[in-house]
Amino acid sequence: MAESELFKTAVSKAMKLCAQREYCREDIRLKLHSWGVAERDTEKILAGLIKENFINESRYALAFVKDKFRYNKWGKVKIRANLKMKKIPAEIINSALGSIDPDLYGKTLEELLVAHRRSVKGKNQYDIKGKLLRYGLSKGFESELLYDILSGE
């Protein structure tokens, strides 16, 4: 009896969470595990949430990409790595990353580098470019794009 009570409570809590904001399958799996839900029950709950469209990996990936790019100023490399950690399929990741406007992407990187350049101190131009390159890489932008922008300075 206690198990079915836990199951019902877990289903309603998971539905409430998914109704409030986007979650991927792996996020909910971890939450259910932390609540002490058995693995077979976890799979049943996840299947029900996906069937009822509470969990939609494509919708989650699009929202994740949009938020991390717009608000955190992350590049595609960092976004891809984070989505892979959440076990999102590669084709969904590629589709979501394709939603980023290439012109806006390049402009955002340039603005980040210009803003960071104001606070960077270095012995010479080579040292400064190295620091800006490392900064861009840490934000998850592609090295080719960084080289193109930094060589234009």
**Closest by CA position to 25, among listed 98, 71, 67, 83:** 83
Per-residue pLDDT at 4: 80
pLDDT per position as a tens digit, 34-80: 999 999 999 999 999 999 999 999 999 999 999 999 999 999 999 99
Burial class (CB in 10 A: 0-12, 13-18, 19+), 19: exposed
Please report the pLDDT score of residue 152 as a whole number: 75
Q: ∠16-37-17 over CA atoms, to 5°?
A: 15
Q: What is the pLDDT of residues 76-124, one digit of tens each?
A: 999 999 999 999 999 999 999 999 999 999 999 999 999 999 999 988 9
Distance CA 49, CA 29 (A): 11
Q: How far apart are the first and last CA of the chain?
A: 69
